Structure 1
Amino acid sequence: MSELRVTSLTKSFDGQPVLHGVDLSVERGTLLALLGPSGSGKTTLLRVLCGFERADGGTVEIDGVRVAGPGVHVPSEARRIGYVPQEGALFPHLSVADNIVFGLPRQQRRARYRVDELLALVGLPAAYGDRPPQALSGGQQQRVALARALAPSPSLVMLDEPFSSLDAALRIETREAVANALAATGATAVLVTHDQAEALSLGHEVAVLWRGRLVQTDSPEAVYRRPVSRELASFVGDAVIVPGSIHRANSKQVVCEFGTLPIARAMTANDIDVDVMIRPEQIRIVSDRRGEGDGVEAVVEKVVFYGHDASVMLRSVTGARGVQIRVAGHSHPRVGERISLSVEGDVVAYPKG
């Protein structure tokens, strides 16, 4: 498989900029999750990388070969990129096997080249090769679409929100099968998604596209635990944002209504007043629900039970702010109870803006 290099990439439609100088690197064998809200430019970036759209500026290189740039636009069929669209886009008049070999040379199509191998790779029985695609479930059709993308041994695999139309249970099963297939082939892949859990669980790296700009590219853990902005923090997952101030004697600590807490990145002397970002799962109940213990006192206002866990809305005794935390379903507190809270691990502080 190949590596991908994108430098200063721009794209506009009808004079409206969609991509603003995007820089991106994807190493060989890496699955990069391209995450962003609707309208952030994710699909446009994918289409430019595949060659479906021409870039206005910047360059795209695959394994050191420029495929897009000033005076250069290699057509999509010559880029050796496997593409998996949102709906799979299988041909209903062809069998599963014929769909898989559709893009291969005629001789390989007639021989159903590697069909059994590719079906096994995506977790489907060889007998499915003779079935029409409409006889398969939505998740199975997406696996066939991946097998078709892998059939010509592409340099890169691009997946455009391939699980968005599936129900929750089928989505998890299908994305695990797809991830296993990509790993088995050592594929270099870019997965476009607006699903935070999908990006964090599947991507070796996560690149966040925000209003046409890449604002953070990092490991899934770093993107979740140390997002570069408060807006990104709230997009990537649930976030509790409270006001605070940097400790006067220690720039690696912040003082807020939850006490004095360690922060992931030291702040400058100018950033005295800050917003503190805490993930809900970091907030723990530390007392026996009688307001005892060393934590911050709070009153339970609302509990939503989900089975394996519960969402608990609290109001701190010392502050007017409501806070939502998550606790194990079997041990959630009751509405009206007075409890004590503590925060576990580092938090993130952002300058007041």
Structure 2
Amino acid sequence: MAELRIQGLSKHFGAHTVLRGIDLTVASGSLVAILGPSGSGKTTLLRLLCGFERADGGSIALNGRIVSSAADHVPPEQRRIGYVPQEGALFPHLSVAENIVFGLPRQERRARHRVQELLELVGLSADYANRPPQQLSGGQQQRVALARALAPSPALVLLDEPFSALDAALRAETREAVADALSAAGATAVLVTHDQSEALSMGHQVAVLWDGRLVQVASPEQLYRQPANPELARFIGDAVLLPGVAGNGQVQCALGTLALMGGMPQGPVQVLLRPEQIRLLPLSGASEARARVLEVIFYGHDACVRLRTGGVSPIELTARVPGHSSPVPGQEVALAIEGSVAAFA
């Protein structure tokens, strides 16, 4: 597989600029998730990587070979890129094996080159080879689509929201199988998604595309715990934002004195904490932060608890607690914060 390097990439349609100076490097053998809301430019970026569109500026290089620049545009069929679409897009009149070898040279198609190996790689047994796609579940079809993308040993694999049509349980199972297959193949991959949990669980790095710009590229943990701005914090997951004053590695806010992550701003700030950091405890003293439970939304394994603090300036916030220990509406509880928090100037 190969390193992907994007430098200064831009694209516009008429007067509308879709991508603005995109810089991104995907290391050989790694998976980068491109995360962004609808209309952020994800599909256009994918089409530029595939070669379906010409860029208006910047360059794309695969393993040091320029495939797109002001002077060069390598056609899609010469880029050695595997593509997994949203819904598999298998040919219904061909068997699983024939779908997998479809893009190979004629001699390799006839020999069903690597079919058994690829089926095993994506977690399917060899007896699936002669089945028609109609006899497969949605998750199995996506695995076959990945096997087809890997069959020509591409330099890069692109995954275009490949799990969006699957139900929640099947999505998680298929996601894990695809991630394992890509890792086993040593594939360099780019996953495009608007699903935060998908990006955080699959990507070695996550690149957030927002209004045509990459606003942050980071590991999943850093992106979740230290997003670049409050808007991104809300997009990545549930966020509790409170006013506070930071100094000497701590921040004072309505929930008390909290430990601040290193490198955070000083002075007046917005404090970011995640709902799962808020612990609900029995009342024990007059000095502790307190709140009253307004609502409990029960999910089974956990529950979201909406709270209102007391005092002259009450605030509402949401905590996430284990389902077996969720409180009841009207209950008064003490609040404690686990771990350090981030802050925005």
2:275 aligned with 1:275: no
Structure 1 residues 254-263 or 218-227, which shifts more?
254-263
2:251 aligned with 1:258: no
Aligned-residue offset at 1:122: 0.6
Q: Is contact 2:264–2:342 with CA below 8 Å preserved after alignment?
A: no
User: Which position in structure 2 is the counterpart of 1:311?
Assistant: 304
Aligned-residue offset at 1:265: 4.1
Q: Is contact 1:310–1:332 with CA below 8 Å preserved after alignment?
A: yes
Q: Is contact 1:120–1:126 with CA below 8 Å preserved after alignment?
A: yes
What is the rounded CA distance, in whole Å, between the counterparts of 1:343 and 1:189 in structure 2?
37
Aligned-residue offset at 1:273: 2.0
Q: Secondary structure of the residue that 1:159 maps to in structure 2?
A: strand
Q: Secondary structure of the residue that 2:128 maps to in structure 1?
A: helix
Aligned-residue offset at 1:267: 4.5
User: Which position in structure 2 is the counterpart of 1:297?
Assistant: 290
State the AA in 2 paired with 1:309. D
What is the rounded CA distance, in whole Å, between the counterparts of 1:324 and 1:267 in structure 2?
23
Aligned-residue offset at 1:245: 1.6
What is the rounded CA distance, in whole Å, between the counterparts of 1:332 and 1:174 in structure 2?
31
User: Which position in structure 1 is the counterpart of 2:149?
Assistant: 149
Structure 1 residues 132-141 or 17-26, which shifts more?
132-141
Residues 339 and 63 of structure 1: CA distance in aligned 2, closer, same or farther (over 3 Å): same
Structure 1 residues 319-328 or 138-147, which shifts more?
319-328
Q: Is contact 1:83–1:149 with CA below 8 Å preserved after alignment?
A: yes
RMSD: 1.2
User: Which position in structure 1 is the counterpart of 2:11?
Assistant: 11
**Structure 1 residues 87-114: Cα deviation after superposition (integer angstroms, max 9, x where no partner):** 1111111111111000000000011111
Q: Is contact 1:26–1:32 with CA below 8 Å preserved after alignment?
A: yes
State the AA in 2 paired with 1:296. A
What is the rounded CA distance, in whole Å, between the counterparts of 2:24 and 2:15 in structure 1?
24
Given the alignment, which residue of 317, 328, 337 partners 2:331? Answer: 337
User: Which position in structure 1 is the counterpart of 2:118?
Assistant: 118
Residues 213 and 51 of structure 1: CA distance in aligned 2, closer, same or farther (over 3 Å): same
What is the rounded CA distance, in whole Å, between the counterparts of 1:120 and 1:161 in structure 2?
23
User: Which position in structure 2 is the counterpart of 1:85?
Assistant: 85
TM-score (norm 2): 0.97
Q: Secondary structure of the residue that 1:260 maps to in structure 2?
A: strand
Q: Is contact 1:133–1:141 with CA below 8 Å preserved after alignment?
A: yes
Residues 113 and 261 of structure 1: CA distance in aligned 2, closer, same or farther (over 3 Å): same
What is the rounded CA distance, in whole Å, between the counterparts of 1:264 and 1:72 in structure 2?
45
Aligned-residue offset at 1:292: 3.4
Q: Secondary structure of the residue that 2:129 maps to in structure 1?
A: helix
Q: Secondary structure of the residue that 1:102 maps to in structure 2?
A: coil
- Mark the runs of 5 or more structure 1 residues left unpaired by the alignment: none
User: Which position in structure 1 is the counterpart of 2:57?
Assistant: 57
What is the rounded CA distance, in whole Å, between the counterparts of 2:65 and 2:323 in structure 1?
53
What is the rounded CA distance, in whole Å, between the counterparts of 1:267 and 1:153 in structure 2?
44
User: Which position in structure 1 is the counterpart of 2:182?
Assistant: 182
What is the rounded CA distance, in whole Å, between the counterparts of 2:287 and 2:90 in structure 1?
60
Aligned residues: 344
State the AA in 2 paired with 1:43. T
Q: Is contact 2:288–2:335 with CA below 8 Å preserved after alignment?
A: yes
What is the rounded CA distance, in whole Å, between the counterparts of 1:117 and 1:39 in structure 2?
38
Q: Is contact 1:291–1:339 with CA below 8 Å preserved after alignment?
A: no
What is the rounded CA distance, in whole Å, between the counterparts of 1:267 and 1:139 in structure 2?
43
Given the alignment, which residue of 279, 296, 299 partners 1:284? Answer: 279
- Sequence identity of aligned pairs in percent? 63
**Structure 1 residues 294-332: Cα deviation after superposition (integer angstroms, max 9, x where no partner):** 631111111111111111111111332111101111111
What is the rounded CA distance, in whole Å, between the counterparts of 2:209 and 2:303 in structure 1?
31
Runs of 4+ in 1 over 3 A off after TM superposition: 265-269, 290-295
Q: Is contact 1:291–1:338 with CA below 8 Å preserved after alignment?
A: no
What is the rounded CA distance, in whole Å, between the counterparts of 2:171 and 2:38 in structure 1?
19
**Structure 1 residues 204-232: Cα deviation after superposition (integer angstroms, max 9, x where no partner):** 11111111100111110000000000000
State the AA in 1 paired with 2:2. S
State the AA in 2 paired with 1:333. P
**Structure 1 residues 53-110: Cα deviation after superposition (integer angstroms, max 9, x where no partner):** 1111000000011000011000111110101011111111111111100000000001
What is the rounded CA distance, in whole Å, between the counterparts of 2:44 and 2:327 in structure 1?
47
Q: Is contact 1:292–1:339 with CA below 8 Å preserved after alignment?
A: no
| Counterparts of residues 156-305 of structure 1 (less than 5 Å) | 156-247=156-247, 250=248, 252-268=249-265, 272-286=267-281, 288=282, 290=283, 292=285, 295-305=288-298
Q: Secondary structure of the residue that 1:276 maps to in structure 2?
A: strand
Aligned-residue offset at 1:293: 7.3
**Structure 1 residues 101-131: Cα deviation after superposition (integer angstroms, max 9, x where no partner):** 0000000001111111111111111111111
State the AA in 1 paired with 2:255. F
Q: Is contact 1:293–1:340 with CA below 8 Å preserved after alignment?
A: no
State the AA in 1 paired with 2:49. L
What is the rounded CA distance, in whole Å, between the counterparts of 1:282 and 1:256 in structure 2?
15
Aligned-residue offset at 1:14: 2.4
